[in-house]
Amino acid sequence: MASLSLISPAAAAARQRPAPRSPAAARPLPLLPFLRGGGGGGAAVAVAARAYRVTVEHEGEKRTMEVEEGETILERALEEGMEVPHDCKLGVCMTCPARLLSGAVDQSEGMLSDDVIDRGYALLCVSYPRSDCAIRVIPEEELLSLQLATAND
C-alpha cells in the first residue's frame, strides 16, 4: 500500500537541514570574568563562591570581613590579622568559643551540644556563615560551664 505524503518535496528537504541560526546564536557566548579559567585548555568551570559579611568582636576590637561560604570565621579572622584564640581548629578543644549575636552559621562539624547551640553559642573554627552575621569571642569558661551543665542533663 502506497503512503501519502502531506508535505511538498521542498518542505521535506527543509526539514532535513538544520534550522538557520540567528547571528546572535552563532557568536560564542562571552565568559563572565569569574568564569574565565586559567590555562589547561579545559573548559572553564568555576563558580563564584558566596560570601557573607561577618562582624567579629574580640577584646574591644570589632572588625567586619567577607567570609566565603566554605571558609570558617576563624580562618578569615586569622587571615585578617585578628588574634582570636584557637588551638585544634577541629571543633573539639573549645578554645575558640563565641556568642552569635545575629545571623546564622553552620557548625555541624563541631562538638557543641544542640542545647548550647540553641542558646547562641558557637565555635569559631567550625562556624561557616550562612547569612551576614555578628559574633563575639567569649571567655572559654563561659562556654565550658554551659557545655558541661547541658552534658549532665
**Closer CB to ligand FES, residue 35 or residue 57?**
57
Dmax (CA) of the chain: 93
Beta-bridge partner residues of 125 = none
144 binds ligand FES (CB under 6 A): no
**Closer CB to ligand FES, residue 55 or residue 147?**
147
What's the grid cell of residue 106? 553552620
Instruction: Tell me how far apart the alpha carbons of residues 116 and 119 are, in angstroms, rounded to a whole number.
Output: 5
CB of 90 to ligand FES, least distance (A): 6
Task: Say if CB 134 and CB 102 are below 8 A apart.
Answer: yes
**Which residue stretch of 23-31, 47-55, 92-100, 132-140 sits at the interface with ligand FES (rule: CB under 6 A)?**
92-100
Residues 62-91 binding ligand FES (CB under 6 A) are 86-91
CB of 40 to ligand FES, least distance (A): 36
93 binds ligand FES (CB under 6 A): yes
Scored b (16 or more CB within 10 A) or e, 103-125 reads bebebeebebbeebbeeebbbbb
**Interface positions with ligand FES (CB under 6 A):** 86-96, 123, 125
